[in-house]
Amino acid sequence: MIFSGTSDVRSLRGTSRKVVSAVLSGKSYSGGDVLPAGIASDPGIPAELLVDLLRGRYGYPVDNIDLVGLVIHGVNLSYRHWSGRLNLVKCLFTGSFNVSHAVVQGRICLDGSHVAGFHAIDARIDGSIHLRDGFTAPDGVRGLGLSVTGSLSVRGSTLGAPAEVPSRAALDLFRASIGDLFVNNSDLRGGIYANGSTIRRNIRLQGARIQSRQLAGMTSAADAGDGISLVNVTVGGAIYFWTSEAGPTDLQGTVSLNGARCQTWTVHPTQLEKADISIDNFTYRRILPATGSDVLRLLSGSSIAPSAYGHLAEHFEALGQPALSRITRISLQRRLARSYPLRSREGFTRRTLGILVGYGYRPALALLWLSVAVTMSGLLIMLHPGLFQPAKGSAAKAPTSMSWVESIALAVDNVVPFISTGSKEQWTLTTTNLDDWPWFTALLLLKIAGWAFAILGAASVTGAIRSK
């Protein structure tokens, strides 16, 4: 039904008539500064007035509504379709603002306004939503399934969460699809829950104060998160926890980035040291100003799931950083070794492999230990040449002394498997002197150790130890 524009406007009174006249003439309307006391002193305008303007009750649908400093008695635009700009700046809403299931081509701006809560469940916004610069919503922003092609900005806002609903976060964006998400310099009492969302560009959290429901003194359910919950979030650009201009995010609660993906993770090393951050299967291409080594320290000092080490190691390999990948896997094995009692078989075996071959990731350590065994054997042979007698058929005479070179050559032949310098054919390890038995036993043990080091080194190179 189309009404006569002239008769309908004339039927209005006070602020409502002024607002409609201004909007129909393409002008903005300002009611001045509105304070909470204004609810009693200013009759304001009914929410239906905005609905009537958008649907064309006053002659034709309007493209843009620009209002400043008004008292508005709740707004329910759910399931509405419209195109244009809806600017309701520094307004005081006596109820919630609801655009759930709405389809909008344009921008919704409530900068500096106060609402009980902002609801945009399954809304489709081909444009942006601005709730910035002093915007307050004690019951928070709820955008489950929200789609915004531009930006959703709550920069510099103050959001809460309804205390009587344990499953609600201050910024609740489960499975949303957003171009840019601006939370920087805001105050969120109840945390962020954006699991499964897609952010095509960036998430900006720098300079924000984000407090979990529990730390804010409210009961909490699992689907409200516990601070910042970005599980399985896909970000096309960067996740900012810090910038040099705004500083770090004030994290009061836990941070879950499990399964999330982004190109750049901007986080300060001190945040990794102090915050409770979970990064199981979190992947990124670049981190700054923190480094991969800082992330390793985070893993070592937390109760994070062991699988996070494997995911991080694979990530380092994909970035072409094999050294960090190897260190990550060694850190995991070291942590697993500490989980077993020292006197247990498993605990002793793991710790021993860590010392000898870096749990199979540092086969060069076996070569080092083998060199130590050869050096000790050479020294023992040089000090006690009587441990060797001429081999059968050899023309050599029983030695009374040996040079360092001869001792090392003989040690290599006896301690290192599959290598021969020719000395072994001339001398046989034996003794008939009881005084030499301790040294004879020591040399045999060094020979066994040498073979063990060689086998461990080969097993490390082939990956046999790592596969266990």
Instruction: Let me know whether 283 and 378 are in one domain.
Output: no
User: 302, 320, 338 — which closes off a domain?
Assistant: 338
Q: Is residue 343 part of a domain?
A: no
- Residue with the larger pLDDT of the pair 50 and 435: 50
Q: Is residue 57 part of a domain?
A: no
pLDDT of residue 262: 95
Instruction: Let me know whether 298 and 434 are in one domain.
Output: no
- Residue with the larger pLDDT of the pair 305 and 184: 184
pLDDT of residue 43: 65
Instruction: Let me know whether 327 and 371 are in one domain.
Output: no
Q: Is residue 173 part of a domain?
A: yes
Q: Is residue 7 part of a domain?
A: no
Give the mean model confidence (pLDDT) for residues 310-317: 77
Number of domains in the chain: 2
User: What is the pTM (predicted TM-score) of this model?
Assistant: 0.74
Give 409-450 pLDDT, tens digit per residue: 888 887 888 777 766 667 777 766 767 788 888 888 888 888
Share of the chain above pLDDT 90, in %: 40
Instruction: Let me know whether 163 and 238 are in one domain.
Output: yes
Instruction: Let me know whether 316 and 397 are in one domain.
Output: no
Distance CA 279, CA 261 (A): 10
Q: Is residue 275 part of a domain?
A: yes
For residue 261, the one-letter residue type is R
User: 289, 322, 338 — which closes off a domain?
Assistant: 338
Give 55-95 pLDDT, tens digit per residue: 888 877 788 999 999 999 878 999 999 998 999 999 999 89
Instruction: Let me know whether 425 and 312 are in one domain.
Output: no
Give the mean model confidence (pLDDT) for residues 178-202: 97
Instruction: Let me know whether 225 and 316 are in one domain.
Output: yes
388: domain range? Answer: 364-467
* Whether pLDDT at 158 is above 70: yes
Instruction: Let me know whether 142 and 287 are in one domain.
Output: yes
Instruction: Let me know whether 324 and 236 are in one domain.
Output: yes
Instruction: Let me know whether 305 and 369 are in one domain.
Output: no
